[in-house]
Amino acid sequence: MRSRSVLTAVTMAAALTATLTPASAQAANVQAAGAQAGASKGRHHCPRLSAKLKWYGANRAKLQRTIDERGKCSSHWRGDERGHRPVAAFDWDNTIVKNDATDATIAWALKHDKILRPKDWAATSKWLTPAADRALTEACGTDVPVGHPLPTSSDAACADEILQVRGEAETMSGEQAFAGKWNHRRTVPEYAWVPQLFAGHTVKELRAYARAARDEALAAPIGSEQKVGTHTVPAYSRYYEQQKDLLRTLEKAGFDVYIVSAGSEPVAEEWAAGVGIDREHTLAIRSVVKHGRITTYTEGCGGMPPSRGEMIPYIEGKRCVVNQEIFGIKGARAWQKQDWRHRIAIGGGDADTDVTFVGDATGTHLVLNRNKPEIMCRGYDDADGRWAVNPMFIEPLPRKKEPYPCATGGFTSPDGSLGPVRRSDGSIVPDQKDTAYGEKA
């Protein structure tokens, strides 16, 4: 089990003062102030984010402030004691890398005939509609024996249906691909379907596909595209230089750095290795493996048993995974927001799937702008003054012309309905204008 705890300067100072007499408390405060002043004077010796890499506005300073407050430079540093290192956690796709590593891996697999024919497409997801089952069956055929590779490199119709169901949650004819009931803050069927697509493979095989896809995407020119079936999809990916620098700086400053992804875990592990994040620190959708083969079942969290995708690291699911796997919090409590010392110091993401765990951070909430409503509403509202909204570092989006509908439809409820985004005190976040966007607006 992966277990960490974080003690903050505020928590420790409060605990210390509570145990002292007024006179000794005053002396302790003077001593602490002196130590803090000494730390401030020595800040130039702390690990620093590169001044050569461009960040938007004051975002570099906000991140550096948290590094200085929580890292080895802090007078309250206790990271040398077991379990007391501050934690930083980041989403992967479009947060640390440009473009989606999971989609790149699927594209590579389709181009190299690595998807195995299931006995029944409907069995790949509990929410797959009869229309999607028919479309996939008709497009991919039944000539290939069950468990053997589908010829998706040459069969454009089959590749198209798989990509359309994964990417748009619909068939090529526009029919709904998934239906039924699920908790919209714990899973989304087209995300859960990705590791289910690789059922029948070994984890080792899927890692090899992910490595091949990663190497190919990193070698492709920025902006390049490729044809898979008749779909045009990105051909390239890049690790963001600013994020690589941030991860390195955090590790030098004593932080425990994690990746928390809504992609398949073997895929995320191989891509994360490219920036020095090991498997122990990479958390994603964890498939149940039986007889050495990936199944269509995924591991649960927060007291939930293995299921067919009813819980993945998605919105509240990411909080659960962080609480359970990093801080060792078990059962239903893992779904709840924790006390200060059992929360991450820095969180980073780009989409609503990240909004809860990024919002739980006690130091800096880093958001890359991809125009996703809830996380942008919270980022621009900046309720605690520690949100840092940044345009994407490569091919940033232009300004969103209409304000984000925070007051009416920015929040997705568990039943899928839309409502207002609310602050922790229950007040409604007003609609927010887009202000951190690409220069070519």
| pLDDT value at residue 82 | 64
pLDDT for residue 84? 80
Asked, for residue 38, whether it belongs to a domain, the answer is: no
Question: For residue 299, what pLDDT is reported?
Answer: 98
**Which tokens belong to 272?**
């994360």
- Rounded CA-CA distance 211/217 in Å is 10
359 with 347, same domain: the answer is yes
How big is the chain by its Cα radius of gyration, in Å? 23
pLDDT at position 83: 66
- How many domains does the structure of the chain reveal? 2
179/294 same-domain check? no
d(CA 315, CA 334): 13
17-33 burial, b for 16+ CB within 10 Å, e for fewer? Answer: eeeeeeeeeeebeeebe
Stretch (H or E) spanning 24: helix 22-41
322: CATH: 3.40.50.1000
Residue 287 lies in a domain: yes
Say if residue 245 is in the same domain as residue 142: no
Whether 165 and 230 share a structural domain: yes
**Angle CA 35–37–41, to nearest 5:** 115
Q: Residue 265 belongs to what domain range?
A: 9-15+48-98+238-419
Whether residues 271 and 404 fall in one domain:
yes
Ranges of the chain whose pLDDT falls below 70: 1-44, 80-83, 440-441
Among 122, 95, 106, 79, residue whose Cα is nearest residue 163:
106
Residue 425's pLDDT is: 96
Q: Is residue 90 a contact partner of residue 258, using CB atoms and an 8 Å limit?
A: yes
**Does 387 map to a domain?**
yes
- Does residue 261 sit within a domain? yes
Question: What was the pLDDT predicted at 337?
Answer: 98
Instruction: Record the tokens describing residue 90, joined without a space.
Output: 């980041």
- Tokens representing residue 80 in the block: 């040398």
Q: How far apart are CA 311 and CA 431, in angstroms?
A: 30
d(CA 194, CA 268): 12
- Pair (87, 150) in one structural domain: no
- pTM of the predicted model, to two decimals? 0.89
Considering the domain architecture, whether residues 111 and 87 belong to the same structural domain is answered as no
Helix %, strand %, coil % for the chain, to 5?
40, 15, 45
Same domain, 176 and 53: no
